[in-house]
Chains A and B, each alone.
Chain A
Amino acid sequence: MKETPLSNCERDFLLRAIEEKKRLDGRQTYDYRKLKITFGTDYGCCFVDLGQTRVMAQVSCELVAPKENRPTEGILFFNIELSPMASPSFEQGRQSELSVKLNRQLERCLRNSKCIDTESLCVVSGEKVWQVRVDVHTLNNDGNLMDAASVAAITALCHFRRPDVAIQGEEVTVFSPEERDPIPLSVYHMPISVSFAFFQQGTFLLVDPCEREERVMDGLLMIAMNKHREICSIQSSGGIMLLKDQVMRCSKIASVKVSEITELISQALLNDKAARKAGGKCGFAESMPQDRITALKMDQTDVEMTNVSQTGSGVILQGDEAPPPTVPSPVVPVPGVGQVGQGLQSWGLEEEEEDDDDEEEESSGDDQVEEVTQIKLSEKDKKEAVVEISDSEEEEVEVDKLN
Chain B
Amino acid sequence: MPGKLKAKIVAGRHLPVMDRASDLTDAFVEVKFGNTTFKTDVYPKSLNPQWNSEWFKFEVDDEDLQDEPLQITVLDHDTYSANDAIGKVYIDIDPLLSSEAATVISGWFPIYDTIHGIRGEINVLVKVELFNDLNRFRQSSCGVKFFCTTSIPRCYRAVMVHGFVEELVVNEDPEYQWIDRIRTPRASNEARQRLISLMSGELQRKIGLKVLEMGGNAVVGYLQCFDLEGESGLVVRAIGTACTLDKLSNTYTPATAINPCNSSPSKDIKEAGFGEEAPGVPLSSGPPTPLRAQTFSSFSPSKSYSRQSSSSDTELSLTPKTGMGSGGSAGKEAGPLKALLRQQTQTALEQREFPFFTLTSFPPGFLLHVGGVVSARSVKLLDRIHNPALGNTRSYKLLDWNSFTADEPETRDAWWEEIRQEIKSHAKALGCHAVVGYSESTSICEEVCILSASGTAAILSSRFMQDSALDTEHRFEDLMSPGCAFCHIPYDELNMPFPAQLTYCHCCRRYKVPDVLFTTIDLPTEANVTGKGCLIQARLCRTKKKAQGEGNATAISNLLPFLEYELHTQLMNKLKLRSMNALFGLRIQISVGENMLLGLASATGVYLTALPSPGGIQIAGKTPSDITYEQHISNMQKKINDTIAKNKELYEINPPDLVEEVIGSPIPEPRQRSRLFRSHSESSDEVSELDLSHGKKDAFVLEIDDTDAVEDIHSLLTDAPTPPGFYSCNTEIMPGIYNWTSALQMFTSVRVFRLSNVNLTNQGLNKVFNDLCENLLKSLYFKLRSMVPCCLCHVNFTVAVPEDELIQVAVTAVAMSFDKDQTQENGRQSIDKNLMKAITENEDQLQFPLELSAESSSNPLNSAKGLSEVSGPLPSARAPSVDYSSFTDRCSSWIEQLRLKAHTIRCGSIKTMSSLEKASPLPEGRSRSLRSNRSYAGSSVTVVKMTPLSFIPGTKIIKYLGIINMFFIRETTSLREEGGVSGFLHSFIAEVFAMVRAHVAALGGNAVVSYNMKECVFMENPNKNQAQCLINVSGDAVIFVRESELEATPPQPHSASAQTSSSGEGT
A binds B: no
Give residues in A with beta carbon < 8 Å to B: none
Give residues in B with beta carbon < 8 Å to A: none
